[in-house]
């Protein structure tokens, strides 16, 4: 079987033997360099013996002189200009007009310039200025004169260039993009003209090359440029003096770059090179290192067996999404031939897999991409059931009806469903649209979400338990899978108060050989990592774990511990249950249908003294910080409903663990390429674990 969101090939992790880094030196551990920069301290890691209880330790603060990242950077850049000539030129100066015009050309010139940059530490935005020598030299393509003689023209155009620019680092990393104007002042306008000999007259004397200067040269050019680069720190970023190596590429199109005023000749340039930048940080007063508002803790995993069978109840979205500009059922949905219908069973869907899978949650997406076949199979087994197909298209109800008609035709032709049992209708918006009238962001994704056919039915045989009415979801599909590295075996890192004290934080993990793994950046207070992510295939290891918090003014806080990690070997299997609750776009309150589902179906399945792990998720639409809050609100909404239902029966024996992952694409159950994946990411996943 193929497992779901947490079904990675990951073993359990146990941690023991707390060692304080102040009193013990471990060979092979050097200074860890943060990829972010500023104030420094140390991380506390909770350690647990095999089978021991969950523990939590608060880190101790280490104060030492620290420096902000530099704001001002000074240095120089060197690059090659790849120049491309377009247009034509012929009248070179008052004394020389060749018998032919020269068209097209190319060449390579040198670019050298000092530079200065300013970017506020921790900000994505900055400004930059480069002023230096800029060569536009090149050779035109050889032309043939009326005497059948080849003619060549080369130029050594040169400028002093002034290039201010605005830079933007979209990921708060070394990568940046830039754009700005270019002002160029001509300092060299020389050329060489060479007239060759007619190849039919080999004894013809060769003309001497003519060297001169172009006339009518524009003294000042005003154009533009845009490009990208990557800043690579060459020194540990906690040091006061910093050096950065920055490879870059820039493009200067022909707009405004005509060298002369009397012809159509223009120059486009692709520049590739490298810059060296030097900066000096400011000393941060010791009082700025206070961690009173932030508490770092780490919860080590419990002794959970590695392999756990999961009986999953997977919700079936009653939507079929159509691609933009097409009324055909997308190829990613599984379609059958009539002779395959008798072999189709919704609990054995591995036989009928879709052509495209996201690489995550393959089993679940195989279920969803068979939604039309599941519907046809259920209608065939329940001959009194009827459905309405509601097509919604931004192009109007008629196209919506055309989309619905495609699904109806498939059900009639393949599953032999009587056409009278299927009604169709069209709309320009679905009843529960993702796109809102006042929405202004990510409209393309929202339009994809709303281009769909909804399946409505009042036939209880097709619908979720205890539900009825046209808005009721379809009955979920149940299957059993093997889940490895269950979520309760993960290391959980908590930075309480980090959302106010930090702009972001990250983790650095160094092994005995000095190899460092980086995790983050994180914006939420709690992060879970599987043990196998750190250990790989190693059965055990000693690690220095450092938590790096980045202050909103460029400061940095570090806390660290030496940790011994050990992978568990499973001694038995156990079986858990998994349920999912689907939320509507940007909503954190479960619909009445799912609230009843949680109370009537899920809550009664929770065993005495069991553990319920609740993970909230969102799609990628919207701001990352808002999605983090939304996912946690969804998870807590599920917890409150389950707790209330259990309390109504006098039960308070259940241990709840709640986490919100936001739009974290490493933890999300599904991809975000297709609208159906985004719909399934608006979810809360509930794992029910029996007591040990």
Asked whether residue 140 carries a pLDDT value surpassing 50, the answer given is yes
Asked which of 68-77, 82-91, 293-302, 366-375 is least confident by mean pLDDT, the reply is: 293-302
d(CA 481, CA 297): 33
- Residue 400, token pair as written in the block: 């919506």
d(CA 57, CA 44): 6
Is 478 in a helix, a strand, or coil? strand
Asked whether residue 113 carries a pLDDT value surpassing 70, the answer given is yes
Q: Label the pairing between strands 540-551 and 56-58.
A: unpaired
Asked whether residue 66 carries a pLDDT value surpassing 50, the answer given is yes
Residue that has been written with the tokens 């005995």 in this structure: 512
Asked whether residue 568 carries a pLDDT value surpassing 60, the answer given is no
Provide, rounded to the nearest whole percent, the portion of the chain with pLDDT above 70: 78
d(CA 355, CA 182): 50
Q: What is the pLDDT of residue 8?
A: 34
* DSSP output for 12-51: -EEEEEEE-TTT---TT--PPPPSS-S-----------TT
- Residue 353, token pair as written in the block: 């897999």
Dihedral (Cα; 227, 228, 234, 237), 10-degree rounding: 120
The residue ranking higher by pLDDT, 1 or 362, is 362
Q: What is the pLDDT of residue 26?
A: 31
- Residue 277, token pair as written in the block: 């930048």
- Is residue 525 within 8 A of residue 495, CB to CB? The reply is yes
What global pTM score does this model have?
Answer: 0.51
What is the torsional sign of CA 406, 337, 352, 314?
Answer: positive
Q: What is the pLDDT of residue 6?
A: 36
Q: What is the pLDDT of residue 50?
A: 31
Residues 6+ apart with CB under 8 A from 455: 318, 319, 320, 375, 387, 388, 389, 474
Is 161 in a helix, a strand, or coil? strand
d(CA 464, CA 52): 41
Dihedral (Cα; 161, 166, 171, 174), 10-degree rounding: 30
User: How far apart, in Å, are the Cα atoms of 605 and each of 209, 598, 611, 656?
Assistant: 94, 10, 11, 14
| Nearest Cα to Cα of residue 43 among 136, 52, 34, 51 | 34
End-to-end, the C-alpha distance of the chain in Å comes to 25
Burial 121-155 (b: 16+ CB within 10 A, else e): bbeeebebebebebbbbbbbeebeeeeebebbbbb
Give residue 91's Cα distance to chain centre.
54
User: How far apart, in Å, are the Cα atoms of 60 and each of 41, 55, 543?
Assistant: 8, 16, 18
Provide, rounded to the nearest whole percent, the portion of the chain with pLDDT above 90: 45
Q: What is the pLDDT of residue 175?
A: 92
Residue that has been written with the tokens 């205890």 in this structure: 466
Asked whether residue 623 carries a pLDDT value surpassing 70, the answer given is yes
d(CA 403, CA 387): 15
Q: What is the pLDDT of residue 390?
A: 95
Is 542 in a helix, a strand, or coil? strand
- Residue 503, token pair as written in the block: 């702009």
The residue ranking higher by pLDDT, 410 or 124, is 410
Residues 6+ apart with CB under 8 A from 272: 79, 80, 82, 247, 248, 249
Is 534 in a helix, a strand, or coil? helix
Asked which of 255-269, 450-464, 495-509, 642-656 is least confident by mean pLDDT, the reply is: 495-509
Asked whether residue 437 carries a pLDDT value surpassing 70, the answer given is no
Asked whether residue 60 carries a pLDDT value surpassing 60, the answer given is no
d(CA 179, CA 181): 7
DSSP state of 209: P
CA Rg value for the chain: 33
Arithmetic mean of pLDDT, 430-439: 76
Arithmetic mean of pLDDT, 415-419: 94
Name the E strands within 445-555: 452-456, 474-484, 491-496, 502-510, 516-522, 526-529, 540-551
The residue ranking higher by pLDDT, 338 or 472, is 338
């Amino acid at each position: 079987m193929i497992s779901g969101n947490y079904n990675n090939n990951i073993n359990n992790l146990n941690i023991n033997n707390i060692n304080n880094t102040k009193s013990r030196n471990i060979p092979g551990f050097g200074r860890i360099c943060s990829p972010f920069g500023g104030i420094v301290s140390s991380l506390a890691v909770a350690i647990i013996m095999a089978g021991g209880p969950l523990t939590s330790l608060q880190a101790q603060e280490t104060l030492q002189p620290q420096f902000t990242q530099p704001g001002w950077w000074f240095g120089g850049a060197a690059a090659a200009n790849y120049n491309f000539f377009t247009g034509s030129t012929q009248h070179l100066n008052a004394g020389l007009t060749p018998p032919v015009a020269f068209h097209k050309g190319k060449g390579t010139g040198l670019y050298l310039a000092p530079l200065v940059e300013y970017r506020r530490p921790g900000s994505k935005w900055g400004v930059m200025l480069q002023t230096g020598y800029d060569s536009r030299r090149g050779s035109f393509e050889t032309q043939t004169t009326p005497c059948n003689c080849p003619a060549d023209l080369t130029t050594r155009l040169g400028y002093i260039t002034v290039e201010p620019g605005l830079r933007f680092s979209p990921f708060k990393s070394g990568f940046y993009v830039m754009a700005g104007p270019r002002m160029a002042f001509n300092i060299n306008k020389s050329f060489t003209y060479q007239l060759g000999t007619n190849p039919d007259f080999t004894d013809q004397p060769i003309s001497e090359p003519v060297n001169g200067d172009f006339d009518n040269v524009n003294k000042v050019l005003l154009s533009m440029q845009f490009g990208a680069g990557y800043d690579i720190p060459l020194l540990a970023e906690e040091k006061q003096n910093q050096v950065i190596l920055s490879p870059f590429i820039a493009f200067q199109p022909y707009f405004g770059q005509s060298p002369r005023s009397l012809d159509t000749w223009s120059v486009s340039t692709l520049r590739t090179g490298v810059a060296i930048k030097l900066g000096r940080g400011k000393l941060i007063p010791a009082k700025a290192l206070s961690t009173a508002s932030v508490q770092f803790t780490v919860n080590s995993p419990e002794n959970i067996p590695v392999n756990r069978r999961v009986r999953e109840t997977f919700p079936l979205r009653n939507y079929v999404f159509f691609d933009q500009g097409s009324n055909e059922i997308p190829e990613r949905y599984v379609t059958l031939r009539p002779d395959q219908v008798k072999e189709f069973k919704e609990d054995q869907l591995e036989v009928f897999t879709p052509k495209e899978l996201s690489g995550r949650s393959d089993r679940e997406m195989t279920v969803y991409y068979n939604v039309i076949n599941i519907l046809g199979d259920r209608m065939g087994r329940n001959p009194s059931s009827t459905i309405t197909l509601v097509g919604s298209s931004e192009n109007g109800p008629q196209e919506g009806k055309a989309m619905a008609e495609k699904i109806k035709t498939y059900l009639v032709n393949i599953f032999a469903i009587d056409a009278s049992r299927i009604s169709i209708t069209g709309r320009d918006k679905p009843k529960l649209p993702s796109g809102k009238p006042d929405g202004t962001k990510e409209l393309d994704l929202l339009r994809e979400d709303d281009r769909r056919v909804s399946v409505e039915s009042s036939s209880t045989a097709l619908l979720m338990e205890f539900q009825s009415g046209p808005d009721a979801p379809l009955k979920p599909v149940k299957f059993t899978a093997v889940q490895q590295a269950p979520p309760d075996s993960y290391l959980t890192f908590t930075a309480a108060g980090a959302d106010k004290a930090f702009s972001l934080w990250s983790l650095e993990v160094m092994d005995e050989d000095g190899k460092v793994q980086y995790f983050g950046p994180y914006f939420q207070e709690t992060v879970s990592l599987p043990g196998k992510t750190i250990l790989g295939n190693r059965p055990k290891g000693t690690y220095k774990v450092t938590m790096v918090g980045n202050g909103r003014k460029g400061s940095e806080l570090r806390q660290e511990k030496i940790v011994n990690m050990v992978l568990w070997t499973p001694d038995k299997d156990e079986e858990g249950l998994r349920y999912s609750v689907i939320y509507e776009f940007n909503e954190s309150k479960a619909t009445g249908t799912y609230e009843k589902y949680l109370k009537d179906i899920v809550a009664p399945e929770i065993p005495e003294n069991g553990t319920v792990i609740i993970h909230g998720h969102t799609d990628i639409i919207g701001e990352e910080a808002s999605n983090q809050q939304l996912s946690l609100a969804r998870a807590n909404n599920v917890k409150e409903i389950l707790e209330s239902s259990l309390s109504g029966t006098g039960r308070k024996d259940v241990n709840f663990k709640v986490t919100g992952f936001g739009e974290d694409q490493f933890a999300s159950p599904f991809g975000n390429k297709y609208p159906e994946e985004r719909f399934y990411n608006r979810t809360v996943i509930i794992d029910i674990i029996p007591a040990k």
